[in-house]
């Protein structure tokens, strides 16, 4: 009974391992493979009509660039923010390295929405569109959350 398990198993492993290695090595130079996790939008604790969108962009493929964002709330504008000398600054684009995670969070790169009308409150739904250079558009369907309870709390980097 036991002798049938040796040979065939080895060849199955060999056939399986080679394609996996080929995929891993091609990963960081091939097309980007982007997925977005944990996206949420919180109202600003300080400024009326503003909200911050945070998320993790997972890229299991080659490098990409996030070239812009837009929001479907009438009158509102979405923009990319990065931190420069501890001040939020609008950025035209944000690089998304290949084979890595890029975290968008308070105190780092994030998306800012400003000029939201009074009708937008905690619980309101809206859609953000991310525009990637290579991956095209990705839509995020979000629900506004109330402002975080500790205003101006910035993680130090």
Closest of 114, 118, 121 to residue 88, by C-alpha: 114
DSSP 3-state of 3: helix
- Is 81 a binding residue for Cu ion by CB under 5 A? The answer is yes
- Is 88 a binding residue for Cu ion by CB under 5 A? The answer is yes
Q: What's the min distance (Å) between Cβ of 86 and Cu ion?
A: 12
Select 29 or 89, whichever has its Cβ closest to Cu ion: 89
Give yes or no for a contact between 87 and 124, defined as CB atoms under 8 angstroms apart.
Answer: no
Closest of 47, 78, 76 to residue 140, by C-alpha: 78
Dist CA 47 CA 51 (whole Å): 8
Distance of CA 117 to the CA centre of its chain: 25
Which residue stretch of 59-67, 84-92, 122-130, 140-148 sits at the interface with Cu ion (rule: CB under 5 A)? 84-92
Q: What's the min distance (Å) between Cβ of 112 and Cu ion?
A: 4
Instruction: Identify each DSSP E strand in 72-135 by its residue range.
Output: 77-84, 87-91, 94-96, 100-104, 110-114, 125-132
Q: Under rule CB under 5 A, which residues in 103-132 are in contact with Cu ion?
A: 112
Select 36 or 79, whichever has its Cβ closest to Cu ion: 79
Which residue stretch of 18-26, 53-61, 67-75, 86-94 sits at the interface with Cu ion (rule: CB under 5 A)? 86-94
- Is 41 a binding residue for Cu ion by CB under 5 A? The answer is no
Secondary element (H or E) of residue 55: strand 51-59
- Is 102 a binding residue for Cu ion by CB under 5 A? The answer is no
Q: What's the min distance (Å) between Cβ of 88 and Cu ion?
A: 4
Q: What's the min distance (Å) between Cβ of 119 and Cu ion?
A: 22
| Residues in touch with Cu ion (CB under 5 A) | 81, 88, 112
């Amino acid at each position: 009974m036991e002798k049938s398990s040796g040979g065939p198993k080895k060849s199955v492993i060999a056939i399986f391992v080679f394609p996996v290695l080929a995929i891993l090595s091609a990963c960081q130079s091939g097309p980007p493979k982007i997925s977005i996790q944990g996206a949420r939008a919180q109202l600003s604790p300080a400024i009326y009509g503003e909200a911050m969108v945070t998320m993790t962009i997972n890229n299991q493929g080659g490098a990409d660039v996030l070239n812009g964002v837009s929001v479907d709330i009438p009158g509102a504008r979405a923009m990319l923010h990065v931190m420069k000398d501890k001040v939020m600054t609008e950025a035209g684009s944000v690089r998304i390295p290949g084979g890595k995670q890029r975290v968008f969070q308070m105190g780092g790169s994030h998306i800012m929405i400003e000029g939201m009308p009074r009708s937008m409150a905690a619980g309101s739904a809206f859609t953000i569109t991310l525009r990637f250079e290579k991956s095209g558009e990705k839509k995020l369907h979000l629900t506004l959350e109330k402002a975080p309870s500790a205003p101006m709390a910035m993680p130090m980097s």
